[in-house]
A and B are shown apart, each in its own frame.
Chain A
């Protein structure tokens, strides 16, 4: 059993990682059509979902989603649901990995083949996802403790620069009375989603308790504001949407005259490299456990080769195939994933509620 604090790390990693990929791009694309309002709206939505999920999960101490669904739903229904969730978690990890291959290519080593980088990442991730849930949580803690100060340093660096255009930020804020689209809300709520990994990590928690929910709300809100508005302050209200990775462009803009290296980009890259690898590990760990839950039978047969390896192999193969897409397909897939995610999240929480009701009914009989 691990301590209660790890639930905050699970939330944090998702909040921090959202910066690199589709969340800023999606919200920035809608900056004149209600992105600011979406940020405001997403806080209560995210917090409510988080509260409900944690509350439901507490009804099943020490159990993960696969066990809960398998025990309380008909076989077929639970299998379909588990498969769907596997896909979502798998995509969450995959999107981060593919984006990071892209970033590595573009900003660090333009001469190395992307295949080699992807294989390198896959080796690390695949070896790590088979670890126990506890050790993954401990690793997560270490990386967060190391990286958060660097991120805070970069943020200060960004905000205290005279080149930052507050007028551009204000101009976007004057558009904040527009009603947000569903897509914008789905993207903005993504940063609160970290708690959802409880679906598997609940197995190692004794009883999850979230104190100071409002603090998480404020933190999430500030993260979203920073995510969207700092790139706008540097790249301008119009130009910002032309950047493929707005946050890496922003890191490239920053300089530290009196530090080890002049360009902030490099240590920003390494910070986010470690964070995104650990985030992928968490997502794929959950996906793997869900996938395993699909095949659990009452009596375990001894097999020669662990079926886990076949699943991991399937993960890798799909990853390598999906890497051959072009930039615009990836963009659309990423945003589609974020749109679907919000609904899947609600379905998951609702199914937990149903499972809880069914179990109570069964007990009463």
Chain B
């Protein structure tokens, strides 16, 4: 009796083995990137572009097959469902890694697409987001010659796994975008991907958002300063003018800290302290270095950097956006929860910046 029951149970357990409901890999198309634009004919509609990688046997072969599809619709969900009837295979979003917002669309309102991004269950939370110029569709159509795996180039650039350009802001994953949209006291900032030609794009600016829409562009120089303030050990070099000659130094280690200081009876200010250790990478006229020159250079470099940082900071502050999260930092360091928000708004009106950069150029490279 007992044995028969066991056998029956075992047979019953075999039933679900008929095969799972997954589709095999040869029945799937992998969406790698999604571009979202405002429709040209109707500003209420979206223009969705999918960049799709077609699975291939051998990843070492340099031939790559990419399909790009564009469709117009009211909502993302609906548009993608409509696109499904234009393909022979199932669209799979499990490997989707990048979402690009067209510039025109980003300047209007991106909340709808962020909501879709976060809510849809097969999309990861670690999707790179960026603004595309002139439109997401055109940027997705760019095919760099160096691309080995379909649609990989834009991911490598945005994630900094490939190039480590100091002009690309830290990856704005979709969860970070949503977190900054919701959070009081910090605003989103996204990299701006521009189309340069049919097979080249350029990422060296960034867009500041006021929660739902793109407001102002940070130029390459300001983007780099933002990165210097936000990330530790940024890989970059800066120029310095000293006694009529030009030098360039390469950063080995960098760290930036700030404090919000509110004196009793004068305007409050944010004090940035930047610590950099560096080495000389280039000098004009093949200068021979001495210890004194290195010290003088360090000092000049610190002063000049302070000026540049100050200029960038006041531009960020004038745009009324807060990509560096000063507001949140103020709230996090004050325990008067009921009044802190108003306090910050008041003092944010007239905020000054003081920058103390401590550049220590320690080495001259492999020659003196």
Contacts and interface: CB of A to CB of B under 8 A. Distances in A.
Nearest to B336: A174
A353 B14 CA distance: 50
A257 B121 CA distance: 22
A171 interface: yes
Given A111-B21, A167-B332, A171-B331, A234 B175 contact: yes
Nearest to B183: A236
A168 interface: yes
Interface string B21-47: 110000000000000000000000000
B63 interface: no
Interface in A216-263: 234-239, 242, 249, 252-253, 255, 257, 263
Interface of A: 32, 106-107, 109-112, 116, 120, 123, 162-163, 165-171, 173-175, 177, 234-239, 242, 249, 252-253, 255, 257, 263
B95 to A, nearest CB: 10
7 contacts: A106-B121, A109-B22, A112-B21, A168-B332, A174-B335, A252-B124, A257-B161
Contact of A110 (B118, B121, B125, B126): B121
A56 B325 CA distance: 53
Interface string B174-187: 01101111111010
Interface of B: 9, 13, 16, 20-22, 118, 121-122, 124-126, 161, 170, 173, 175-176, 178-184, 186, 231-232, 325, 328-329, 331-335, 337
Most buried by B among A110, A236, A249, A263: A236
Nearest to B178: A239
A253 B183 contact: no
A181 to B, nearest CB: 17
A174 B332 contact: yes
A163 B332 contact: no
B121 A107 contact: yes
A238 B16 contact: no
B173 A238 contact: no
Nearest to B181: A239
B328 A171 contact: yes
Nearest to A241: B182
Contacts of B161: 257
B173 A253 contact: yes
A162 B233 CA distance: 12
Nearest to A113: B21
Given A236-B182, A237-B183, A263-B126, 14 more contacts: A112-B21, A123-B13, A167-B186, A168-B179, A168-B183, A169-B332, A235-B178, A236-B180, A236-B183, A239-B178, A239-B181, A239-B182, A253-B173, A263-B124
A167 B179 contact: no
Nearest to B120: A110
A171 B173 CA distance: 22
Contact of A252 (B13, B125, B231, B328): B125
Given A167-B332, A252-B126, A263-B124, A242 B21 contact: no
B35 to A, nearest CB: 23
Given A174-B337, A238-B182, A249 B328 contact: no
